[in-house]
Amino acid sequence: MDDLIRLAREMQARAYAPYSHFPVGAALRSADGSIHGGCNVENAAYPEGLCAEASAIAALVGAGHRHIVECVVTGPGPQPITPCGGCRQKLREFASDDLPIHLCGPDGRHRTVTLGELLPLSFGPQHLARP
């Protein structure tokens, strides 16, 4: 998990957050073990920016992967942050309910939760499967 935390922190340092001043980093591990990072990118036409998790998912998909097995989210404050509701749904598209999400602050990992805990009774790709 140290590699994911390191990448998430690197991404957080690269965030473009001139409006909220709240840089966030995320890192994902795909099924083959490769890792992919993202940061939040804000826009003057608020809320048209990108969340860190969405950026990391785009990097994962752009690299040809479709399954997330581990996630780290880092934020600037002393309290760990969780993915927003939209990003929880985006993560669900590429992961199962048991996806571990490590919530990290500046001093390291604070807590690990599952996607199912953050998004109970989720709507996923299986709901659109045809019989």
For the annotated catalytic residues, the residue numbers are: 53
Tokens of 107: 């001093």
| One-letter amino acid of 47 | P
* 3-class secondary-structure state, position 69: strand
Residue 99 contacts residue 28 (beta carbons within 8 Å): no
DSSP-derived secondary structure letter, 3: H
